[in-house]
Every structure is written in structure tokens, then in C-alpha cells.
Structure 1
């Protein structure tokens, strides 16, 4: 009887190991696929929230929900749009909601829609009951407020980032300045690569060429003055942003992070399988001893 029980346990354990092995390859495949197809557009960059709060179930909340719904629906059709809800003459001005979204110019329509939906889902969590808020992901911006800011020049710096690594290469600075000069002249989304340095810039979709140039000029000035000799830098202003980096800078950091995630995930799975494999070996030895 004991032998039969051991054999039965052994058979069940072998089947379990086979299932776990299949699960290991499935999880590994899904993990690798998920990381390799990770949409960088969804990476959080910054958020800003007003101190003034609205009351739940207020007229403003109703207008805001309508505005955010329109933003989400529109993102599957265009990369930029702006809205004003509840700003009619019969509606108190403090209840009106104004808002917009903008996707990065190189984003596919489906990725734009996904990014905006993600941003809309986050903005209420990051800025609960705020009368005004903006949330920037890597690939898109969502912004709303109870005052009409649409189409008005805003060069307020919202966020800036300078890399810890720096360069003292004269050629690097020459290329960087050339890249920034080219980006400063952009009227829409622009990407440029000049040897050692790459960069891109973009203004909001409703800006005039003159206002766009003014905004980008301010952004480029911030990159030079604040970040100095940084190998990479970002400057996000109210209506535009600019970025430059040493070739390969962002790719190398991204790849190492993904490899670490893959390595940790696989190490955990292998550890679990190794534990079950040890049980199989022990049961096998017991079966032989019993026979």
C-alpha cells in the first residue's frame, strides 16, 4: 500500500513538474513579449495640481467628466484637440471646464489613444478634486482647468530633467547647439539627429508659428542654462517641450532596466521549479528504496 501511495505521489509530482515547466516557458514568453513591446508612451513624466478643490457632485465635476470623456473618445481620431464644456452664457463661469490633450507627433493613432486613456485615468487619482491639473506621460499630455487657458501663450516651466552624466567633449556641445537651434525653429513635432546628439521638440497643436517659436526659444534656453553640460536634458513648458540626448543615452538605460526585470522574473520561476525538481528526486529515491 505504501509503495502504491509513493508511486501515485510520484506520478502526480511528475505531472505537476511538467505543467510547471510549460508554465515557465509561457510566463517567460509573456514576460519577454511584454517588455519588448512595452509602450514607453505610458511612462509618467510629471503632474501638476491646483490647490483649489471642487466639491463632489458639483456642476464643475459634471462638466469635467464630460470634457474628459470627449478627450478620451477623440484621441482615437487625432493627436490633438481642445474642449470647453459649460461655458455658455447661462452657465456660471466658475463651473466651466476647459481642457486639451496632445500626443507626441511620432505616436501611432492606437498608441495615442491608449496613452490618453491612461493619462485620463491617472489625472483624477493624482489630482483628486483639483480645479486645474495637468499630467504628462512620455507620449501624451492631458490638461484641464476652470479658467480658459486655450490658445494662450504659456512659457511657465512645468518640469525639467538633467542627466547626472555630463560631457566635456567640444564636438558634443557643437552638435548639441546645432540640434537645439534646429529644434527651436520647429512649428510642429520635429526630430533631429546630428552625429553625437539627437533631440525632438513639439508645441501644442493650436499654437501660432510665432508663439511656438517663442515657447521653444524659452525651452532651449532652459536646457542650456539649467542643465549645462548634461548628456541629456528635458524641458517641459506650459505649451511646448524640447529634449536632447547623447546618442544611445536613453536606449542604454532602458535596455538595462528591461534586462534586470527579465532576469529577476526568470530567476524566481527557475527557483520554484528547482524546488519541485528536488521533491521529485527525493520521491524517486524513496520509490527505489521501497522496491
Structure 2
């Protein structure tokens, strides 16, 4: 067999495996797959401007309150898929937090406990010494901070990624758009899911948001999706307090660069952390997307002005 044919077969096999991985990831999302994580800047105060080795860390009382909060998350996850807590102390030692598990009926209490436990373990590892931190896994969100945030809307872009098809079928694109409109139109539900043919979409807000704030958050997520991922077969947009995910396996053919970009992004972040340490954990914070060159770029904090006005069209 010629080298050219061997290379072609190898590339085709890898592309096929990548597409299967993505489709499987959307249908059976493992709880321990990390979407994104972030720690607040360490609350340290240098003794002098020119001294970087001598710091006063956050108080042991605050660290104790954080540990108590995270333990409460794990204990509560066995009976509730969402909860928020505040561990009181003096103003500098009070910590606020919430956790939330995936809202689909198939995601049971055992799954929720497992996911929250893994999230808590990772936060304790990567955010030690930080006043706040959050982690979004496939199955749950866990967040804590020394600033009250429960009930406060937050539409900060966390992640925006998608995979484009070589050729897309107009009916598949229309079906995906209809699903996204349905998610926005399902007012009053923190978790929403819909399937049309082979296409499916899910959305979820954190339960501390009001119905109107949840609606605003999901609209904002779709505003981020439209300019870059409007014709994509697979995509996900995560904001700080809501997310939208969709897949359309019926779209024909996926571009390998996008597929590799989506798969290798998490690998790249893992390698970066392994080589440089967790201080680089927020390198791509505030959102990513994969463009034709498969390059990861950071979006501006606000969506394009031309998409600020969003209307539901039926």
C-alpha cells in the first residue's frame, strides 16, 4: 500500500473517531468532563511593593468556612439537585456558594453526588488560597465566593465552541434553529430540552435566577451562538449562570479542523496546566470559539452590537 493511501486511511480513521467522540459526548455526557474552571485572584497583600515573597494569606477562619461550605454541597447533593448556602462570619470571613446538577430526569441523586464531589475535590486543589472559585463540569456547576452572588444575574461568557459540517442540510439547520427558539420560548423552566428528528437541544439556568433573568441569560447565550456557530452541527455556549447545548447528527460531514480544535482544546488546557501550573487556569477565561483555522480566540465581553436586539420568530 502506498504511503499516500496509508496516510489518507489514517486521517479518515482519526476524523471518524473524533466525530464519534463528539456525538457520544453530547449523548452521554460524563460528569467528570471539565467545561471550564476559574479561581478568583488570591486575596494576598504584599508587605511591601517590592517584596513578592512575603504575603499575608486569607484568614484561616475564611478557609475553614470555605471547607464547611463545600462539605455542605456534597451532603446536600444526595437530596437536592440545587442548593445555595452562606457560611457566616465577620464580613471578611463570610462565604457564599451554590451548586447545581444537570436537570434531565435520567440524572439521578447518585450522579449528582458523584459530580459535586468531584467538583469540590478539584476546587479544593486548584483554588486553595483564593477567595472564590467555580467549576463547570458536564454534570454540575459548583461556585463559591466572598462576594454575594446568589440571585444576581451574570451573563459572562465562559465558553462558546462548535463544530461545522462540510455540507449542511437546510432542513437540519432549520430544525436546529427551531429547537433554539423553543428553548427560549419555554418561559419559566430552569431546565429545558427538546428533540426534533435527530436534532436535540438542552438549556439550563441556575435556579437562583428569576424566570425573567433566566430568559435573558438564554437569549444572551443564543446571541453568542448565532454569529459564529449559526450553521454548526454541534455546539455549546456556557455563560456564568446558564448554558445552551445542541447537536444535529443528521448534518452531513464534519470538518476535521473544527473537530480536532474542539477535542484538542481540553487537551491543550491540560498540557498547559501540567507544564506551567494552575496559575494559568484562567488563560482562556471569558469564552472561546473555534474558527476555520481551528485557532482558539477570546471573544469580547459583550456580543456584537448587531445582535443586541433578539426577537423570537416562529
Q: Kindly state the Cα deviation for residue 226 of structure 1 after the two structures are TM-superposed.
A: 2.9
What is the Cα deviation at residue 39 of structure 1? 7.2
Q: Give me the whole-angstrom Cα distance separating, in 2, the residues matched to 1:213 and 1:163.
A: 25
Over the residues paired in the alignment, what is the CA RMSD in angstroms? Answer: 2.3
Contact between 1:166 and 1:229, CA under 8 Å: does it hold in 2? no
Whichever of the two has the greater Rg, that structure is 1
2:147 matched residue in structure 1: 147
* Among candidates 39, 64, 69, match of residue 67 of structure 1: 69
Q: Is the 8 A contact 1:133 1:144 kept in 2?
A: yes
CA deviation map 1:192-226 (0-9, x unaligned): 11124211000111221111111111111111123
Per the alignment, in what secondary structure is the counterpart of residue 31 of structure 2?
A: helix
Once the two structures are superposed, the pairs formed by residues 93-132 of structure 1 within 5 Å of their partners are 93-106=91-104, 107-132=107-132
In structure 2, stretches of 5+ residues that fail to align are 1-27, 45-56, 252-258, 264-314
Q: Distance in 1 between matches of 2:78 and 2:29?
A: 16
Question: 2:34 — aligned with what?
Answer: 44
Question: With structure 2 as the length reference, what TM-score do the two structures score?
Answer: 0.63
Q: 1:56: how far off?
A: 6.4
1:57 deviation in Å?
Answer: 5.8
Q: Distance in 2 between matches of 1:76 and 1:103?
A: 11
Q: Following superposition of structure 1 onto structure 2, how do residues 190-229 of structure 1 map, counting pairs within 5 Å? A: 190-229=192-231
SS at 1:40 equivalent = coil
Structure 2: distance between partners of 1:166 and 1:79: 39
**What is the CA distance between 1:126 and its match in structure 2?**
2.5
Asked if 1:83 corresponds to 2:73, the answer is no
**Contact 1:166/1:231 (<8 A) preserved:** no
Report how many residues are paired: 211
Residue ranges of structure 1 left out of the alignment (5+ in a row)? 1-37, 258-291
**Structure 1 residue 49, shift from structure 2 partner:** 1.3
Counterparts of 1:1-20 in structure 2, within 5 Å, are none
Cα distance in 1 for residues equivalent to 2:245 and 2:205: 12
- Could you tell me how far apart the structure 1 residues matched to 2:97 and 2:228 are? 30
Residue by residue over 1:65-101, the C-alpha shift from the partner in whole angstroms, topping out at 9 and shown as x without a partner, is 11101111000000000011125xxx1x221111100
Is contact 2:35-2:138 (8 Å) kept? yes
Counterpart position of 1:13: none
- Quick one: structure 1 residues 167 and 69, their matched pair in 2 at CA, closer, same or farther if it must change by over 3 Å? farther
Change in 2 beyond 3 A, CA 1:176/1:248: closer
Q: Does the 8 Å contact 1:203/1:212 carry over to 2?
A: yes
> 1:127-146, CA deviations, whole angstroms, 9 ceiling, x for partnerless residues?
23221111011000100111
Counterpart secondary structure, 2:144: strand
Q: Secondary structure at the match of 1:94?
A: coil
Instruction: Name the structure 1 match of 2:135.
Output: 135
Deviation of the 1:41 alpha carbon: 1.7
Alignment partners' CA distance in 1, 2:73 and 2:35: 20
Higher helix share: 1
Alignment check: 8 A CA contact 1:72 1:113 kept:
yes
Alignment partners' CA distance in 1, 2:249 and 2:190? 22
Q: State whether residues 157 and 240 of structure 2, in contact with CA within 8 Å, keep that contact through their aligned partners in structure 1.
A: yes
Given that 2:58 and 2:129 are in contact with CA atoms closer than 8 Å, whether structure 1 keeps it comes out as yes
* Contact persistence 1:166–1:230 (CA under 8 A): no
Cα distance 1:248–1:84, how it changes in 2: closer, same or farther (>3 A)?
farther
Secondary structure, counterpart of 1:95 in structure 2: coil
Contact persistence 1:104–1:139 (CA under 8 A) = yes
Q: CA deviation at 1:124?
A: 1.8
Aligned to 2:184: 184
Deviation at 1:164, TM superposition (A): 4.9
